[in-house]
């Protein structure tokens, strides 16, 4: 991409999960991993995930969205980021019901206001090959994996699920912040059992309608909120009959409401926050002009 031409970005967050949005629907080539990492390392544009909007591939969708982690790798899904682009698109077009396409498939978004945005996260996948795992497990509600000594593990028998990207969920009856997730998170993320790496969550069930979680996010590290992790923990708890089919998941950044519908789709509801906008020294003139329309300037701090 042309490093001399500025490109407009919008910085948002979903419960503290930092999101940068770029709109390349009017033109501009894909970002390379080096450009993504440079954007992540800039204090003004640091992010947990970056949502890059490209021209739609499927009729009736708003955009085809590529999602990037801070290390330059791609993620197939990001619930908090999807809520952010849903709010921005509603702000731009006035449409309350929207559809975006990602590597994980089509995602429907309904925007009431920036404090009430619901995303249909699609259907969870539980088969070991779909997660994927490098070896067969018949029952993915609890697999053979542990943290700590063999005779006295700290955490063990996690659930695994794919909700657009792979997740492993360790269960505990202790407060989730008592564990050093920053130490063992990267070890589990890169464990040979997970050929595409994995998001690592510690979950505590506090009632039939409530969970508390913390997450080490694949390619990003510790995060204040991860929408797909909230979905993963919720449906895993429901499969184990630990909770009802609708729960509030409390993350360090705040709560999300997760519901697993009878049609097997997961609904995730929560807020977003607009932080600021600015220019990146990459892009094309056409994309830069179009990007400036992404959110009215008077709405930016």
Give the DSSP letter string of the chain.
Answer: -BTTS-EEEEEEEETTEEEEEEE-TTS-PPPPHHHHHHHHHSTTT--SEEEEEE--SSTT-SEEEEEEETTS-EES--HHHHHHHHHHHHHHH--SEEEEEETTEEEEEEEEETTEEEEE----B-STTTTT-SS--S-TTS-S-EES-TTS-SEE--EEEESSSEEEEEEESS-GGGS-HHHHHHHHHT-TT-TT--EEEEEEEEETTEEEEEEEETTTEEES--HHHHHHHHHHHHHTTSS-SEEEEEETTEEEEEEE-TTS-EEEEE--EEEEEEEES-B-HHHHHHHTTSS-GGG--
Phi, psi values for residue 59, rounded to 5°: -55, 140
Whether 231 sits among the annotated catalytic residues: the reply is: no
d(CA 215, CA 228): 10
Catalytic residue among 176, 226, 258, 274: 226
- Angle between the N-to-C axes of helices 79-93 and 227-239, in degrees from 0 to 180, rounded to the nearest 10: 120
Whether 226 sits among the annotated catalytic residues: the reply is: yes
Catalytic residue among 50, 52, 78, 193: 78
Report, as residue numbers or ranges, the catalytic residues: 78, 226
């Amino acid at each position: 991409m042309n490093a001399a031409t500025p490109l407009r970005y919008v910085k948002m967050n979903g419960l503290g999960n930092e999101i940068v949005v770029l709109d390349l629907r009017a033109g501009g080539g894909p970002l390379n991993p080096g450009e993504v990492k440079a954007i992540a390392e800039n204090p003004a544009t640091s992010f947990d995930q970056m949502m890059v909007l490209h021209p739609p591939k499927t009729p009736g969708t708003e955009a085809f969205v590529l999602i990037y982690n801070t290390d330059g790798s791609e993620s197939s899904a990001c619930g908090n980021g999807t809520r952010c682009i849903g709010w921005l698109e509603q702000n731009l077009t006035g449409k309350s019901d929207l559809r975006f396409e990602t590597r994980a498939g089509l995602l429907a978004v309904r925007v009431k206001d920036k404090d009430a945005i619901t995303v249909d996260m699609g259907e969870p996948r539980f088969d070991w090959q779909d997660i994927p795992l490098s070896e067969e497990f018949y029952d993915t509600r609890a697999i053979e994996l542990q943290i700590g000594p063999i005779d006295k593990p700290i955490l063990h028998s996690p659930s695994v699920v794919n909700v657009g990207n792979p997740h492993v969920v360790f269960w505990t009856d202790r407060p989730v912040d008592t564990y050093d997730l920053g130490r063992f998170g990267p070890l589990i993320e890169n464990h040979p059992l997970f050929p595409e790496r994995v998001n690592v969550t510690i979950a505590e069930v506090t009632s039939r309608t409530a969970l508390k979680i913390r997450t080490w996010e694949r390619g990003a590290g510790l995060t204040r909120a991860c929408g797909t992790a909230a979905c993963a923990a919720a449906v895993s708890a429901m499969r184990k009959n630990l909770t009802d089919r609708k729960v509030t998941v409390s993350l360090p950044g705040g709560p999300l409401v997760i519901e697993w519908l009878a049609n097997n789709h997961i609904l995730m509801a929560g807020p977003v926050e607009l932080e600021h906008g600015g220019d990146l020294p990459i892009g094309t003139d056409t994309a830069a002009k179009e990007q400036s329309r992404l959110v009215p300037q008077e709405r930016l701090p």
